Chains A and B, each alone.
Chain A
Amino acid sequence: MLSLFQVLALLFILVLLVKITLKFKNLKMGLGEYLLWVLIWLLLLIVVVFPAMTFIPARWLGLSRGVDVVVYLSIGFLFLLVYNLYLKIEKIEFEITTLVRKISFKNFKLNEKKK
């Protein structure tokens, strides 16, 4: 029997799978990105249904508990995600400044012409 936690986790994963599939179908996501996310969520699905399976990668990595693998991987994944977001925000900030700068130059030239 599945525990309540497993049922909730499965529902959550299924909803996300449907969501990204719809996104992919509406051409809002590339094939590579789509497959990556499907892979990640399917792996999690397996882990949720058969938690004992995580003991295999745990043994490879020299960790005693399967749950540790999941936690470490999740932290690593989150770190990558935050780093990516940081880079994206930096880029957007830079672009906004470039735009604001260009607009200030343009407006100044327009005012000069009016005079």
Chain B
Amino acid sequence: MAEKNVWIVIPAFNEEATIKQVIKSLKKHGWRNIIVVDDGSVDNTPSIAEREDVIVLKHIINRGLGAALGTGIKAALDLGADIIVTFDADLQHKPEDVERLIKPIIQGRADVVIGSRFLNKEYLKGMPLSKKIGNIGLNIITYLLFGAKTSDSQSGMRAFSRKAAQTISIKTNRMEVSSEIIAEVARKKLKKAEIPIKAIYLRKGQSVWDGFKILGKLILKRLME
């Protein structure tokens, strides 16, 4: 753990209720290099994060998840990261999973690791049915449109080797970025691994409507390329 320079990137948009706990729990597990990208929040997310002694980059206007991830990954690369982990700000991910997530990269078995919510049936129990259907639907769409296979195309928990982070180009600004990353991994022929993670849903995340918006954007992206 100590020999690799690991940076955690947390994209945050109006997450004042959870951001502090997310940072604190990551630090408790030994992850001290943390970049919070505040994506134009209108609440106190940035000031709360700044009090936690982490790097806080502030988008002056909301640009969406893809843009926030892009900013965080670029900053981590500039700071000399060997491994970059993306982590959600809404407490749905568990910090103890990070170590398992980066293991395949450290062992040289993968360039990109996806924390998949679908690999362990036990872990799936807490997921609402609409989310299950939506996620599986978007996995199929990601495969059909971009030829990229994955068990969880919408996961927010991923790890990139430095090489992978430099190679992948993120062009989309909004939520469709998750599928875009999966597609990029396939297109650039990077080695991908997946490890099971458990997600905890405390609040309402993305809605069914958001799922359809992602679907529309992905089809448009494929058509216009």
CA A37 – CA B173 in complex, angstroms? 34
Q: Tell me how far the C-beta of A105 lies from the nearest C-beta in chain B, rounded to whole angstroms.
A: 7
Q: Size range of the interface on B?
A: 10 to 19
Main secondary structure of the interface of B (DSSP, over half): mixed
Interface string of B23-62 (1 = CB under 8 A from A): 0000000000000010000000000000000011111110
Residue B149 at the chain A interface, CB threshold 8 Å: no
Q: Interface size on A (CB < 8 Å)?
A: 15
Please indicate the chain A residues that have their CB under 8 angstroms from the CB of B57 in the complex. 104-105, 108
- Any chain B CB within 8 A of the CB of A93? yes
- Chain A residues 68 to 115 lying within 8 A of chain B, measured CB to CB, are 83, 86-87, 90, 93-94, 96-97, 100-101, 103-105, 107-108
Cβ of B67 within 8 Å of any chain A Cβ, yes or no, is: yes
B224: CB under 8 A from chain A? yes
B224 and A97 contacting across the interface, CB-CB below 8 Å = no
Binding site for A on B (CB under 8 A): 37, 55-61, 63, 67, 70-71, 74-75, 171, 173, 220, 224
A-B contact pairs, 18 of them (CB 8 A): A86-B220, A86-B224, A87-B224, A94-B171, A94-B173, A96-B63, A97-B70, A97-B173, A100-B59, A100-B60, A100-B61, A100-B63, A104-B60, A104-B71, A105-B71, A108-B55, A108-B56, A108-B57
